Amino acid sequence: MIEKREFYINGAWVAPETPNDCEVIDPSTEEAVAVISLGSAADIDKAVAAAKAAFPAWMETPPAERLALVEKLLDVYLARSEEMAQAMTLAMGAPIDMSRNNQVGAGTFHIKEFIAAAKNFEFIRPLSDRAPNDRIVYEPVGVCGLITPWNWPMNQITLKVVAAAVAGCTMVLKPSEESPLDAMLFAELMHEAGFPPGVFNLVNGDGMGAGTALTGHPDVDMVSFTGSTRAGIAISKNAADTLKRVHLELGGKGANIIFADADEKAVKRGVIDMMQNTGQSCNAPSRMLVQREIYEQAVEGAAAMANRIAVGDPHEEGRHIGPVVNKAQWQKIQDLIQKGIDEGARLVAGGTGLPDGFNRGYYVKPTVFADVTNDMTIAREEIFGPVLSIIPFDTEEEAIAITNDTVYGLTNYIQTQDAARANRVALKVRSGMVEMNGQSRSFGSPFGGMKQSGNGREGGVFGIEDFLEIKAIGGWAND
């Protein structure tokens, strides 16, 4: 049993003010593998005070020196990548090969991305050639409360922590209590990299306790949260009294529009993308919209692909998906699969219950529904599991209407060999991101959504800007 009952505050590991133990469960065995403490409002007060005290000096630290520490962080992150992979597999159930390549790799990608962006970032720049004595100054927001989820831990922690550090902000991180071991290891890496005391602080806790104390704290200038839309709404309300900036990365219900002229791998690719990380990704293409001419062929292909996806022990190497994160999530997914059946969708792969060969663990069958209509529950709600809904459409206009008929707007996908149509549809779907024909977004591209998918942009220069205030100065004295 791993015991991690301390918090990282002001450059040291300290005991909680009021010990409150919480077990960390391995979702593949349903057994406790670690014990952590959940922080209280007093612990948050201590961490925020440390961040507030450290802010003036960190703000005034030259950007090149802040960047040098981030570069050191990358070195220690890479050196301890196997520990990080094992921590994520143990607590949130990502298969170990995926943890090594994708989960750890996401953190590597974003740290490198911020290093590249920071090298060319002008914190003080002229307004324009016509205003030689005006300067636009980008300065740090201040003390930031960072709340990260369990599904892509290093992806989200690096997107927030590294951007805030480059910008000159100090911070308090509250990771998900479902996946705290990787975050505590990350705190060790920040310490090893040499970040000054108080710049980075970590307090474990749940949303109702530590999360509420952090997001409403009067000395926190900004909250950056990734998680459910429900929690994002609650955080916005709690933060409103202090008028702090709130940056939200929330849920999604992405549409994958497959036109009749899509490439032959489009359906297979869509199923694989949906099932990755056991469907626990906010940008998953969970609604597959298929043009009527190829609809039955696509349904058959999607079912066949889902039936080929192996479900297995996350601690074993190989290409398979693992369990979902906990019992509550497993039961929610089971209820929604049953709801799809009850509402008349055609089940063509998977279904309720544990996959064959399992009698414990939070494993879900890769599931595909056909003949879904966009008013069904499985087409409206974010399931956050390996469940794909296939919806037929006839015209381009109908596909766009179905795509936009959702409260979410994170990522949509387009599959067509007609370049003009691809561009046209990409401009009409309402989402923060669009990916076409299997081509993912490039290095430095922002991650973020519209509507109830949130309001922030993470990654590269856009992510740094989210942690900066803009100051306009007139009458600047030129040297």
Give the residue among 394, 415, 467, 99 at the shortest CA–CA distance from 288: 415
Residue 443, pLDDT score: 87
Q: What share of the chain has pLDDT > 70, as a percent?
A: 100
Mean pLDDT of the chain: 97
pLDDT-derived band at 14 (thresholds 50, 70, 90) equals: very high
**Half-sphere exposure for 347 (CA within 13 Å, toward CB):** 16
Region 412-419 average pLDDT: 98
What's at 52, amino acid-wise? K
What gap in Å lies between CA 391 and CA 299, rounded to an integer?
A: 10
pLDDT at 479 over 80: no
CB atoms within 10 A of CB 76: 16
Residue that the structure tokens 């920040």 belong to: 190
Structure tokens belonging to residue 174: 């509250």
Angle at 16 between CA 169 and CA 26, to 5 degrees: 90
Residue 252, pLDDT score: 98
Residue 377, pLDDT score: 98
**Half-sphere exposure for 71 (CA within 13 Å, toward CB):** 11
What gap in Å lies between CA 287 and CA 403, rounded to an integer?
A: 9
What gap in Å lies between CA 358 and CA 115, rounded to an integer?
A: 44
Region 9-15 average pLDDT: 98
Indicate if 293 belongs to the active site.
no
Indicate if 282 belongs to the active site.
yes
Cβ 140 vs Cβ 464: under 8 Å: no
Among candidate residues 22, 178, 282, 458, the one labeled active-site is 282
CB atoms within 10 A of CB 298: 25
Among candidate residues 178, 249, 435, 458, the one labeled active-site is 249
CB atoms within 10 A of CB 123: 16
Tens-digit pLDDT profile for residues 241-274 = 999 999 999 999 999 999 999 999 999 999 999 9
Region 290-305 average pLDDT: 98
Residue that the structure tokens 């030129």 belong to: 478
Region 156-183 average pLDDT: 98
Exposed (0-12), middle (13-18) or buried (19+): which is 442, by Cβ within 10 Å? Answer: exposed
pLDDT-derived band at 478 (thresholds 50, 70, 90) equals: confident
pLDDT at 309 over 90: yes
The helix, strand and coil proportions of the chain, stated in percent and rounded to the nearest 5, come to 40, 20, 35
CB atoms within 10 A of CB 41: 17
Tens-digit pLDDT profile for residues 75-108 = 999 999 999 999 999 999 999 999 999 999 999 9
Tens-digit pLDDT profile for residues 181-223 = 999 999 999 999 999 999 999 999 999 999 999 999 999 999 9
pLDDT-derived band at 433 (thresholds 50, 70, 90) equals: very high
Cβ 389 vs Cβ 376: under 8 Å: yes
